[in-house]
Amino acid sequence: IWGNIGSVKRQEFYAAAREGIQLDASVTINADDFRAAAEAGKKPELCRIGESLYRIFRTYQKNDVEMELILQEVE
């Protein structure tokens, strides 16, 4: 799946940090691609960007077309 990589919004980053959780990135993807994987019984839990592996911490439906994934790097 192709997407646009960005940073985690400041408010969400600091709220997670207060709970001891480090959020590392966000990626905006086509919501239909994500839904298609989930409907096929393969609910995505991990995301690979380059050589790095991330856990999908939270998903957010931005609009009818886009979904934002908030990611936590897997060490």
Portion of the chain with pLDDT greater than 90, in percent: 71
Helix, strand or coil, per DSSP, at residue 38: helix
Confidence of residue 34 (pLDDT cuts 50, 70, 90): confident
Take residue 34 and report the two structure tokens written for it.
């994500």
pLDDT at 20 over 80: yes
Rounded distance between C-alpha atoms, residue 5 and residue 70, angstroms: 10
Question: At residue 45, what are phi and psi to the nearest 5 degrees?
Answer: -120, -20
Query: In which residue are the tokens 């994934």 written?
Result: 69
Rounded distance between C-alpha atoms, residue 59 and residue 34, angstroms: 10
